[in-house]
C-alpha cells in the first residue's frame, strides 16, 4: 500500500482516543465534516506559498501535512529526499475553520460543551469570534463550555494553530541555557543544542529520531464533537481490581458523573462472564449538583481470569451500569475488561534483585519488542493496520510490547486488540529521553495529561506496567552531552533540574498511577532501579544494552551481559527491496547514495557504514545492493537471535527480552523487524522461532558450547533431545539421543561440550550440529550450530534449492540437496503471508511453507525467487 493510499484509508478510518466504554445520556454531535484550512496570511511563509492562504477543504482528524498531501500541494513526504523540502510546514501557523449548525433543542439543554479529544499542539479556540481557550498539550482532551456563545443556526469554529518551534524558539534563545534534548535538526530550523521539543508536550519523535524523519506536525489530530446535556453526563466508568485470585475477584465499580441537580438516584450494575454467567446489584445514592463519584463493591467467585498469550485464555467480562432517577435514565455505560492480578517481583536473590512480571501468581518471561509510533502522521493508522501489527506480534510468539515514551499514547482500538490477543503492554508515559523543565506549569500540565491517560486506559488488562519515561535518568547520569551540560551550569541550578525530574517521575506520576490505577505497578524510568540507585545496572532493574551496534562491538558481545530484564538492544537492517522501491528511484540503489543516507537516520546517515561493518565481519562483501539489503536482514536476525536466546537460557537470572524495535514510522533502514508496510523482515521470522514456547539453545563461545532446553510451558514434559553432527554435504558424523525431563517455566542446562567433542573429527568450516527436541514423535524445537562466523565456513556454492507448489498453491515445499544458509523466499512486488522464511536447511531436508496471498498462483510462480547466503557474497569472500 503506498503512502498516498495509506493516507486516504487512514483519513476515512482514523483511530481516535475514544473512550473504551460506550457512554449514554449526553447528546454528542460529531464535528468531522466541512472543515477548511489555510496558511495564516500573516505567517512568514505566506510570501512563498501565497496560494495556500485561501481556504481549502480539510480532514479532521488530521494534520496540515496530510491535508496538503490530499490536496496535491505537496508530494509524498516519504519519497526520496522530500523530507527536506517540507520542513517549512511545521514552522508556519495555520487556521482550521468549520461552520456548524446548532438547533434550538440543543440550546435548551443546560450544558453545551465543545470537546476536542486532541489538538496538536498550540492552538487558539475561537467560537463565533469569541476566544475561548488556548491549548498546549497534544495528549490532553479539552472540554469548553460554549452555550453562552452559540446561537440557533450556523455557528463558526476557528482553530488557529501555532508552530511549536516558532512559538518557543525566540523564548529559548533568550535563556541562559537550553536543556539537553535528543536529536538536533538536520535542516537548520533550530540551532544545534537548542531544541524546543523538551519544553512542549508533543510527540518527541516528530522532531526527528535515529530511525525516523522530522515532520513537526500541526493539526486537529483527534475527533471534535459538541456535547449537550441537562440531567447528567458520565465522565468515567471504571472496574477497579483490588484483589483477584483463582477463588474470587474483589472488585469496585466506580462511576464518575456530572449531575445537573442534587437528588436521590439508583445505580444498577450487571455483569456477564465469558461463559455467559452473570450477576447484578443495585445501590441507592444521593447525587450532588456537580461532580459525583459512586462506588459499588462487587465479588465474583471463581473468576475466569485474563491471561497473557501462552498462559491461558484472554477472558473478558462485560459490565453494564445505569444511573436512574425514578424511571428516568440519567447515564449508562458498558465496559469490557479482564480480571487479573499483576505484580512486579523485586525480590533479592543470588544475582541481586529480580525484575519479573507475575500475572495471576505465575512468573512470566517477557518475550517481545519495543513499539514506536505506527506512522509519522498518526491519523493515517487504521484499525486494520493495528490488527496486522498486533497479530504479527502474537504470531511471532511475543507476549509483551514496551510502548516507548517518545511517541504518543495509542488508541483504545490498539489496547482492545492487545486485550483480545493477550499481549502485555509496558506503557511508558510520553517522555522520550530529553531532560524535562522543572517549572510548575510544565509539571502541572504533565500531571493532568497523565491523569487523563491513565483514567482512559486503566481498564485494559493488557497494561501491566506504567513507566515514567524512556532513558531520562540514565541519560542524565551517563551520556556525554548531559555530563558536559551539568558542568556548564551552576550547582544550584543543576540541583533544581534534578529535583524537578525526580518530582515528576518519582512522585507526581507515581501518585497519579497509585490514585487512579493502583492495580498496576509503576516504574520510574527505563532503564532504572526505580530511583533506588544508579540506572542501567546488571543486577537490579531493567537494562538497555547498546555496546553492540552503537558501540560497534562484535555481535557475540551480547553474551557478555546477563541483566535482570533487557528492555532494549538492537541491530539495524534495511527493509525488503519492494519496500525500498517505494521510496527510492533506481539511481538511488547504493548504500551511501544521497537518498539512502537521507533515509538512514543513525549517525547523520553514516549508519549504512555501520551495517557494512557488521556484514563484512560476519558474512563477507555483498555482491550488489540487493545483496547488501539481504545480508543486513540476515545479520540482524542472527544477532538478535543470539542475544534473545542467551537471555532466555539465563532464566530466572534474566526474565525479559524486548528487542529494539518492532515497527517503523516510515520506509527505510532501522532496527525494526516489521517494516513500514507491515512486511516481515528476517528478524520477525527468526523471532517466531527463538520466542517459541519451547526452544533448544546452543550457546557457543571460545570453543565451548553450553546446551539449554528452555520451556515457557506451565507444566513439565518428557522429550528426546537428538544431536546430529554432519558435514555440509550430508555425511553423518555422529547421532545421539537423550531423554530429558523438561522443567516447567525454566531453562534446563543439558550439557557443555568442547568443539572437539561435538565435531567428531569433522572440519570446523565444513561441519554443522543439529539439535532437535522431539515430543511424541514430533519435533517441537530445532536449532543448528556452526563452528565459526559465516564467512569462515565452507558453505556449498550450489546447495541445490528447489521449490514445489502443493495444495493448489496453498503450500510451498522448499528442498535442498546440501546445506543452505539463510534461505529467503521472495515474491518481488507481490505480497504473501508465509508461515516461515529466513531459515537454514540441512542436506536432503524439505520444509513446507503455508502461503496466503491475494495474488494468483501463476503470478506467484512467476515472481518466486529463492536466495541463500552464498548467492549474495562475492566469491573471493566465500569459502
> What does the pLDDT look like over 358-396, one tens digit per residue?
999 999 999 999 999 999 999 999 999 999 999 999 999
- How long a stretch of residues is the chain? 879
* Distance separating alpha carbons of residues 380 and 416, to the nearest angstrom: 19
Helix (H, G, I), strand (E, B) or coil at 644: helix
Torsions phi, psi of 763, nearest 5? Answer: -80, 135
- Specify whether the CB–CB gap between 837 and 849 falls below 8 A: yes
Sheet with 342-345, strands from edge to edge, namely 342-345, 356-359, 362-364
Give the pairing type, strands 865-867 and 820-826. antiparallel
Domains located in the chain, CATH noted: 26-226 (2.60.120.260), 231-337 (2.60.40.10), 364-683 (3.20.20.80), 692-788 (2.60.40.10), 795-879 (2.60.40.10)
Q: Is 199 exposed, middle or buried (CB count within 10 Å of its CB: 0-12, 13-18, 19+)?
A: buried
Nearest to 464 by CA among 413, 388, 520: 520
Helix (H, G, I), strand (E, B) or coil at 417: helix
**Residue 12's CB: how many other CB atoms inside 10 A?**
9
Helix (H, G, I), strand (E, B) or coil at 555: helix
* Distance separating alpha carbons of residues 316 and 513, to the nearest angstrom: 23
- Specify whether the CB–CB gap between 223 and 142 falls below 8 A: no
Q: Where are the alpha helices (DSSP H) in 75-227?
A: 82-85, 104-108, 164-173
Binned average pLDDT, 10 residues per bin, the chain of 879 residues: 35 38 68 98 96 98 98 98 98 98 96 98 98 98 98 98 98 98 96 97 98 98 98 97 98 97 97 97 96 96 98 98 96 97 98 98 98 97 97 98 98 98 98 97 98 98 98 98 98 98 98 98 98 97 98 98 98 98 98 98 97 98 98 98 98 98 98 98 98 98 97 98 97 97 97 97 97 98 98 97 97 98 98 98 98 97 98 75
- Specify whether the CB–CB gap between 500 and 509 falls below 8 A: no
Sorted by sequence, the CB contacts under 8 Å of residue 575 that are 6+ apart come out as 629, 664, 667, 668, 669, 672, 675, 676, 677, 679, 681
Helix (H, G, I), strand (E, B) or coil at 435: coil
Residue whose grid cell is 544458509: 821
* Distance separating alpha carbons of residues 805 and 833, to the nearest angstrom: 15
Question: What is the pTM for the complete model shown?
Answer: 0.96
For residue 288, what pLDDT is reported?
Answer: 97
* Distance separating alpha carbons of residues 372 and 414, to the nearest angstrom: 13
Q: What are the strands, taking DSSP E only, across 302-393? A: 317-325, 328-337, 342-345, 348-349, 352-353, 356-359, 362-364, 366-371
Residue whose grid cell is 494468483: 856
* Distance separating alpha carbons of residues 461 and 425, to the nearest angstrom: 9
What's the N-to-C CA distance of the chain in angstroms? 41
* Distance separating alpha carbons of residues 24 and 89, to the nearest angstrom: 40
Cell of 732: 553423518
Amino acid at each position: 500500500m503506498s503512502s498516498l493510499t495509506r493516507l486516504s484509508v487512514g483519513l476515512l478510518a482514523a483511530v481516535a482516543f475514544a473512550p473504551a466504554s460506550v457512554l449514554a445520556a449526553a447528546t454528542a454531535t460529531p464535528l468531522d465534516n466541512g472543515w477548511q484550512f489555510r496558511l495564516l496570511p500573516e505567517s512568514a511563509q505566506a510570501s512563498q506559498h501565497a496560494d495556500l492562504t485561501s481556504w481549502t477543504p480539510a480532514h479532521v482528524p488530521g494534520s496540515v501535512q496530510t491535508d496538503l498531501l490530499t490536496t496535491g500541494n505537496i508530494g509524498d513526504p516519504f519519497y526520496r529526499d522530500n523530507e527536506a523540502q517540507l520542513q517549512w510546514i511545521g514552522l508556519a501557523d495555520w487556521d482550521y475553520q468549520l461552520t456548524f449548525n446548532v438547533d434550538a433543542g440543543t440550546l435548551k439543554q443546560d450544558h453545551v460543551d465543545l470537546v476536542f479529544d486532541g489538538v496538536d499542539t498550540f492552538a487558539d479556540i475561537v467560537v463565533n469570534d469569541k476566544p475561548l481557550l488556548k491549548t498546549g498539550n497534544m495528549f490532553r482532551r479539552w472540554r469548553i463550555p460554549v452555550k453562552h456563545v452559540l446561537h440557533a443556526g450556523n455557528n463558526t469554529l476557528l482553530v488557529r494553530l501555532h508552530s511549536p518551534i516558532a512559538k518557543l524558539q525566540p523564548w529559548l534563545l533568550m535563556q541562559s541555557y537550553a536543556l539537553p534534548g535528543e536529536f538536533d535538526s538536520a535542516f537548520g530550523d533550530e540551532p544545534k543544542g537548542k531544541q524546543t521539543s523538551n519544553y512542549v508536550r508533543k510527540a518527541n519523535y516528530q522532531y526527528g529520531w535515529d530511525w525516523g524523519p522530522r515532520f513537526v506536525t500541526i493539526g486537529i489530530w483527534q475527533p471534535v464533537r459538541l456535547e449537550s446535556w441537562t440531567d447528567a453526563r458520565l465522565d468515567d466508568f471504571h472496574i477497579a481490581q483490588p484483589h483477584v485470585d483463582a477463588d474470587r475477584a474483589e472488585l469496585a465499580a466506580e462511576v464518575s458523573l456530572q449531575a445537573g441537580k442534587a437528588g436521590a438516584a439508583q445505580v444498577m450494575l450487571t455483569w456477564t462472564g465469558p461463559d455467559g454467567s452473570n450477576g447484578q446489584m443495585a445501590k441507592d445514592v444521593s447525587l450532588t449538583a456537580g461532580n459525583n463519584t459512586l462506588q459499588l463493591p462487587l465479588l465474583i467467585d471463581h473468576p475466569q481470569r485474563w491471561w497473557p498469550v501462552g498462559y491461558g485464555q484472554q477472558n473478558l467480562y462485560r459490565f453494564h451500569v445505569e444511573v436512574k432517577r425514578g424511571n428516568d435514565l440519567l447515564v449508562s455505560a458498558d465496559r469490557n475488561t479482564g480480571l487479573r492480578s499483576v505484580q512486579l517481583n523485586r525480590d533479592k536473590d543470588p544475582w541481586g534483585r529480580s525484575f519479573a512480571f507475575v500475572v495471576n501468581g505465575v512468573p512470566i518471561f517477557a518475550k517481545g519488542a519495543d513499539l514506536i509510533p505506527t506512522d509519522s502522521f498518526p491519523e493515517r493508522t487504521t484499525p486494520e493496520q493495528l490488527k496486522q501489527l498486533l497479530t504479527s506480534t502474537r504470531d511471532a510468539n511475543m507476549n509483551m510490547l514496551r510502548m516507548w515514551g517518545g511517541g504518543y499514547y495509542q488508541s483504545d482500538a490498539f489496547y482492545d486488540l492487545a486485550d483480545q490477543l493477550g499481549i502485555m503492554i509496558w506503557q511508558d508515559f510520553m517522555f522520550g529521553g530529553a531532560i524535562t523543565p522543572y517549572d510548575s506549569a510544565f509539571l502541572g500540565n504533565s500531571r493532568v495529561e497523565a491523569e487523563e491517560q491513565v483514567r482512559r486506559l486503566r481498564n485494559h488488562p493488557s497494561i501491566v506496567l506504567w513507566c515514567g519515561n524512556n532513558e531520562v535518568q540514565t541519560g542524565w547520569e551517563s551520556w556525554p552531552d548531559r555530563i558536559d551540560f551539568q558542568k556548564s551550569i551552576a550547582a544550584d541550578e543543576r540541583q533544581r533540574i534534578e529535583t524537578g525530574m525526580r518530582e515528576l517521575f518519582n512522585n507526581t506520576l507515581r501518585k497519579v498511577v497509585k490514585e487512579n490505577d493502583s492495580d498496576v505497578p509503576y516504574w520510574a524510568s527505563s532503564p532504572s532501579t526505580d530511583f533506588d540507585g544508579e540506572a542501567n545496572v546488571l543486577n537490579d532493574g531493567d537494562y538497555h544494552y547498546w555496546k553492540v551496534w552503537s558501540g560497534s562491538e562484535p555481535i557475540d558481545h551480547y553474551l557478555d551481559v546477563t541483566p535482570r530484564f533487557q528492555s532494549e538492544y538492537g541491530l539495524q537492517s534495511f527493509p525488503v527491496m519492494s519496500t525500498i522501491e517505494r521510496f527510492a528511484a533506481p539511481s538511488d540503489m547504493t548504500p551511501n547514495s544521497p537518498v539512502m543516507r537521507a533515509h538512514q537516520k543513525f549517525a547523520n546517515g553514516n549508519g549504512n557504514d555501520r551495517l557494512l561493518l557488521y556484514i563484512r565481519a560476519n558474512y563477507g562483501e555483498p555482491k550488489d545492493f540487493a545483496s547488501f539489503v539481504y545480508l543486513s536482514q540476515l545479520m540482524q536476525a542472527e544477532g538478535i537471535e543470539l542475544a534473545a536466546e542467551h537471555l532466555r537460557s539465563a532464566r530466572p537470572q534474566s526474565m525479559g527480552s524486548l528487542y529494539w524495535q518492532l515497527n517503523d514510522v516510515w520506509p527505510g533502514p532501522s532496527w525494526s523487524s516489521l517494516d513500514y508496510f507491515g512486511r516481515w523482515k528476517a528478524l520477525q521470522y527468526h523471532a517466531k522461532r527463538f520466542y517459541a514456547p519451547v526452544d533448544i539453545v546452543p550457546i557457543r563461545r571460545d570453543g565451548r558450547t553450553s546446551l539449554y532446553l528452555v520451556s515457557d510451558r506451565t507444566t513439565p514434559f518428557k522429550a528426546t533431545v537428538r544431536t546430529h553432527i554432519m558435514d555440509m554435504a550430508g555425511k553423518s558424523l555422529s547421532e545421539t539421543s537423550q531423554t530429558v525431563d523438561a522443567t516447567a517455566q525454566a531453562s534446563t542446562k543439558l550439557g557443555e561440550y568442547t568443539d572437539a567433542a561435538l565435531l567428531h573429527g569433522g572440519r570446523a568450516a565444513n561441519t554443522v550440529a543439529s539439535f532437535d527436541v522431539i515430543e511424541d514423535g514430533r519435533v517441537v524445537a530445532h536449532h543448528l550450530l556452526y563452528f565459526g562466523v559465516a564467512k569462515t565456513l565452507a558453505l556449498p556454492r550450489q546447495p541445490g534449492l528447489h521449490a514445489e507448489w502443493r495444495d493448489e498453491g496453498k503450500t510451498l515445499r522448499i528442498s535442498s540437496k546440501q546445506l543452505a544458509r539463510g534461505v529467503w523466499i521472495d515474491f518481488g512486488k507481490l505480497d504473501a503471508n508465509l508461515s516461515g522464511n529466513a531459515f537454514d536447511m540441512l542436506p536432503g531436508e524439505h520444509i513446507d511453507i503455508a502461503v496466503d496471498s491475494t495474488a494468483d498462483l501463476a503470478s506467484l510462480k512467476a515472481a518466486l525467487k529463492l536466495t541463500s547466503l552464498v548467492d549474495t557474497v562475492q566469491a573471493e569472500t566465500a569459502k
